Structure 1
Amino acid sequence: MQQHVSKSAREWQETTYRKAREKVEERKVQFTTSSDIPVQPLYTQEDLAQFQPQEQLGYPGEFPFTRGVQPSMYRSRFWTMRQYAGFGTAEESNKRYHYLLSQGTTGLSVAFDLPTQIGYDADHPLAAGEVGKVGVSISSLEDMETLLHGLPLERISTSMTINATASILLALYIAVAKKQGADVRKLSGTIQNDILKEYVARGTYIYPPEHSMRLITDIFKYCAEHVPRWNTISISGYHIREAGATAAQEIAFTLSNAIAYVQAAIDAGLNVDRFAGQLSFFFNCHNNFFEEICKFRAARRMWAHIMRERFHAQEKRSMMLRFHTQTAGSTLTAQQPDNNIIRTAYQAMAAVLGGTQSLHTNSKDEALSLPTEESARIALRTQQILAYETGVADTVDPLAGSYFIETLTNQLEEAAWQYIHKIDELGGSVRAIEKGYLQSEIEQAAYDYQLSLERGTATVVGVNRFTIENEVQPEIQRVDPEVGKRQAAKLAALRQRRDNEQVQNRLQALQDAARGSKNLMPFIIEAVEAYATLGEISDALRHVFGEQREFAAEL
């Protein structure tokens, strides 16, 4: 008997698929992505009827870079394997960095404590109880020298997750490199330096937007001339996603912030092709496997068009969206923490299939504390197994041409463009932030997700399903509660032996420059080289710039 063969997807749904559903019902869930894009039971060439492979897909290393920014991708070199680390004192963190390098990590990623992030020294009253807790405490060049002791700065790439005080930490890094005798022009790495997402999603800002943007463009100018291999900003969707945004919002809000930075640099007199090649991005990799892969592909394509058509960039590198990825901290659970190894592995694979240039894999115990040495090693081994054992790095963009992947990439791009057009209508990213638009959109997405958990329409294994009673928690990393006192004592001794007259002269020179229009980076470098502290430099700028308070929503 001749078997029925469907002529179209619609016919298949109305015959073969319908009969199957009559026998076995589908799961009672909403088949959608995090961005509320419906997921169909099947994708065919009919879903790509308007698809133009030459223009929308292209080839790796060629515009619009949908398939990757490098022609050979991981066939030539694996992504940089970073492990975000830093806690307690500079001495403790330095030991962890040497350990990670000995275990095969190929780049450093420095976590700073909250006082360092918001411009307070370890002995400031507001730093009490927070010194060394969520990262390493850095108050002076002396701390930075200890942190980087024995690390070959010319040969390793260092990422520093720092924003409001990014100019100071970069100055400290440059000063240590000079003392080591390194060629500053050979330094490579990244400072996050993305203050707009701090106003939106994270909160570690100090100064009002106008002055923060000046510091950022001063860094662009300084590094273009003096530290050409340094990525001067890592425009971050990561924290936007951690705050509750969807994948489409992560793309849109990140690229809108990037547009604001590029425009600010152009307004400050920089040629777009002079600095655009030093821009990098930082994305989250969440749980929805295919959506995350498509998110990276869509973001690359969108950025290429933005740089070519909005900013008229001419250089190929200016149009490349190069990015670091971190697996999603917000998906980690305190319950059954071993499950986090599995979550992280899938997220890491999605990042690699999406074409990341650099990757951090979260440790299993990060919902409970800073990672132990053992859990950090497992997280690194996750990347190494992915690189050396799975074969996913053997060909470029292996999922290209999939009906589902290409359709979802297009749908995410369309959804992200709708947000960007809305932000443009509001006057750009800075104005949209001041109006509270980005914040309110993220808050609504986070609220909707929390409701889905409470109603049971979304599942988190070990939290609202498949739970264990009387679970025993593992040993966790603990920071010495006396670290703050030790750091304060070190600062007191430093202030006794440094040339305090020279420190005051350089802080005054920085204040005078801040009142004018000179590039502030040389003045900050001179201040840190005199052993002015991070808090003193921040206060000098506070005196001129003032402090930003939280925005009140206008919408």
Structure 2
Amino acid sequence: MIESDFYGFAKQSKKEWLELVSKDLRGKDFEEALVSKLWEKIKVEPMYFLDQPDSEMLFHPESEIPGMPPRVWTNLASVEVSEEKIGNGKALKLLNQGAEGLIFLVKADTDFKILLKDIQLEFVEIFITPLSEPGRVISDFQHFLDNSEFPKTDLKGGLLWSPTSSAIKTGQAPDYDLAKRAIEIFEDYPDFKALTIDFSRYAEAGGNGLQELTFGLGEIIETLDQIGELGNKILWQNLIFHLSSGSEYFAEIAKLKAARVLICELANLYGLEYKLEDVHLLVSNNHFTKTQLDPYSNLIRQTFEGMAAILGGVNSLWIKAEIGNRNQQLFERMAINVSTILRDESQLGKVMDPSAGSYFISKLTEDIKEKVLDSLKSLEQNGGWLSSFEKGILQSEIRETREQIQKKVLDGELTKVGGNKYLLPSQANSPQELEDFEETQLQLKPSRASYLVENKKES
């Protein structure tokens, strides 16, 4: 940040600037004319001033290897496994195309020896997502590790599962006993985390950024309270945090930075010396922002959501490929390339925290943090995350937000390029094959902002 009087202009106070703005408005109300609302709760001002110092965040420890860029993140790609040999072939292909980490979506009785054949695990982050029966999937992976000679210190990644995220997916009670077992199984694997708190599930279901952070932090507190006998240090060492990056570009950057600060401060409240660079954020692009009508517009959304994730401090970036398109291999390759291009061509790895020094981002980060703390305090005063889940309160809040957004898109009040405006000619009158969307009272499922438009178009 430049502190010297480089340009020679006289300094203007905040009061003087506001007086000039008021004069230019010619009697119009300042708030009504120039101030907007983010997520219906945060004021977005037209100008920002240096009211408090802002410093660069460390998103990860500085590299000890000479010549390494200041900023690094892992480029993830996913493999849904139906048959181990096919899954292995796809995984090797994705690694050859630029993936640096793999997310395996697996069912029970998976043979990991076949699935991971020829994959050099010491150089790749591995994440396991159970599609069903998580206890059996964890046992399958444990069996593979116990029968391999792979050094425990070389395994990196984690289980993309937690009892709370599983409860939101299925509508069933959280299985905290399985969480304890997972932590005990992977206790000797220092860089493989046993639990992932899935903040993104709320955003995928249509919630806004404040709800995503509030309920995600509530999950952390609930999990720690339920299995705290294992020890706070062990629990925090076994946590990854999965967040989403959505359509509100600058807000997504600030949201991720606020999440890192809030998680760190929460850990400190539990008596740990937890630093910002100790927080591992896995960030994926948001399914809710996409439209089934135009996969090419979705590619643009993937790119700026990925960029927001990087500027916000992602450690593992998962750009999800478009599903259900004829050119599936093309879309999978392009999803991997988003991260590669942003690092190698856009040079986003040249600076640790490019948004540091932006008064707007700094103020927005602080505002998000304050609102989330207020909401989290209210959540805890009303019994905490588990009580809210069991009563269906948090689900109702997310659904209310989702329905408001979907109605705005349907009515044209909110523009969705490729959804309700600027449709592809080939999609203008073609019928859609929409999946059935049913939730129980306790479930939250991924949806899309343009779902009602797509449903109306089909009918």
**Corresponding letter in the other structure for 1:284:** S
| Among candidates 61, 65, 68, match of residue 70 of structure 1 | 61
| Among candidates 367, 374, 379, match of residue 423 of structure 1 | 379
Given that 1:110 and 1:161 are in contact with CA atoms closer than 8 Å, whether structure 2 keeps it comes out as yes
- Cα separation, 1, equivalents of 2:414 and 2:205: 18
The correspondence of residues 385-396 of structure 1 with structure 2, limited to 5 A, is 385-396=341-352
The correspondence of residues 151-300 of structure 1 with structure 2, limited to 5 A, is 151-162=119-130, 165-200=133-168, 202-203=169-170, 208-209=173-174, 212-224=175-187, 226-266=188-228, 269-300=229-260
Give the 3 Å change call, closer, same or farther, for CA 316–262 of structure 1 in structure 2. Answer: same
Given that 1:299 and 1:321 are in contact with CA atoms closer than 8 Å, whether structure 2 keeps it comes out as no
Give the 3 Å change call, closer, same or farther, for CA 317–417 of structure 1 in structure 2. Answer: closer
- Cα separation, 2, equivalents of 1:223 and 1:319: 22
Scaled by the length of structure 1, the TM-score of the pair is 0.69
Range with bigger deviation, 239-248 or 432-441: 432-441
| 1:354-385 superposed Cα distances (whole Å, 9 cap, x missing partner) | 1110001122x32x359722211111111111
- Cα separation, 1, equivalents of 2:33 and 2:129: 42
**Corresponding letter in the other structure for 1:19:** D
**Corresponding letter in the other structure for 2:36:** F
> Structure 2: any 5+ residue segments left out of the alignment?
1-8, 431-439, 444-459
| 1:489-520 superposed Cα distances (whole Å, 9 cap, x missing partner) | xxxxxxxxxxxxxxxxxxxxxxxxxxxxxxxx
Give the 3 Å change call, closer, same or farther, for CA 140–395 of structure 1 in structure 2. Answer: same
- Cα separation, 1, equivalents of 2:327 and 2:176: 34
Give the 3 Å change call, closer, same or farther, for CA 471–218 of structure 1 in structure 2. Answer: same
Give the 3 Å change call, closer, same or farther, for CA 415–442 of structure 1 in structure 2. Answer: same
**How many residues end up aligned between the 2 structures?**
422
Give the 3 Å change call, closer, same or farther, for CA 271–180 of structure 1 in structure 2. Answer: closer
Given that 1:34 and 1:246 are in contact with CA atoms closer than 8 Å, whether structure 2 keeps it comes out as yes
| Among candidates 291, 296, 299, match of residue 338 of structure 1 | 296
Given that 1:307 and 1:318 are in contact with CA atoms closer than 8 Å, whether structure 2 keeps it comes out as no
Scaled by the length of structure 2, the TM-score of the pair is 0.82
Aligned to 1:352: 310
Aligned to 1:514: none
Structure 2 residue 103 is the aligned partner of structure 1 residue 109:
yes
Q: CA RMSD in A?
A: 3.2
Structure 2 residue 84 is the aligned partner of structure 1 residue 90:
yes
- Cα separation, 2, equivalents of 1:155 and 1:218: 27
Name the larger-Rg structure: 1
> Structure 1: any 5+ residue segments left out of the alignment?
62-67, 117-138, 475-548
- Cα separation, 1, equivalents of 2:337 and 2:27: 46
**Corresponding letter in the other structure for 2:189:** V
Given that 1:235 and 1:257 are in contact with CA atoms closer than 8 Å, whether structure 2 keeps it comes out as yes
- Cα separation, 1, equivalents of 2:326 and 2:256: 28
Range with bigger deviation, 330-339 or 95-104: 330-339
| 1:84-137 superposed Cα distances (whole Å, 9 cap, x missing partner) | 22254222221110100111211111124xxx3xxxxxxxxxxxxxxxxxxxxx
- Secondary structure in 2 aligned to 1:70? coil
Aligned to 1:384: 340
Identity, in percent, stands at 24
| 1:272-320 superposed Cα distances (whole Å, 9 cap, x missing partner) | 12331221100000011110011111111111111112x112x436993
Give the 3 Å change call, closer, same or farther, for CA 155–171 of structure 1 in structure 2. Answer: farther
Given that 1:108 and 1:159 are in contact with CA atoms closer than 8 Å, whether structure 2 keeps it comes out as yes
Runs of 4+, deviation exceeding 6 Å: 20-23, 26-30
Displacement of 1:145: 3.0
| 1:444-488 superposed Cα distances (whole Å, 9 cap, x missing partner) | 1111211221232211102111223333999xxxxxxxxxxxxxx
Give the 3 Å change call, closer, same or farther, for CA 436–325 of structure 1 in structure 2. Answer: same
- Cα separation, 2, equivalents of 1:35 and 1:320: 32
- Secondary structure in 1 aligned to 2:99? coil
| 1:176-213 superposed Cα distances (whole Å, 9 cap, x missing partner) | 2344432345322211222313433x32x66x33xx01
- Cα separation, 2, equivalents of 1:380 and 1:319: 25
Given that 2:70 and 2:352 are in contact with CA atoms closer than 8 Å, whether structure 1 keeps it comes out as no
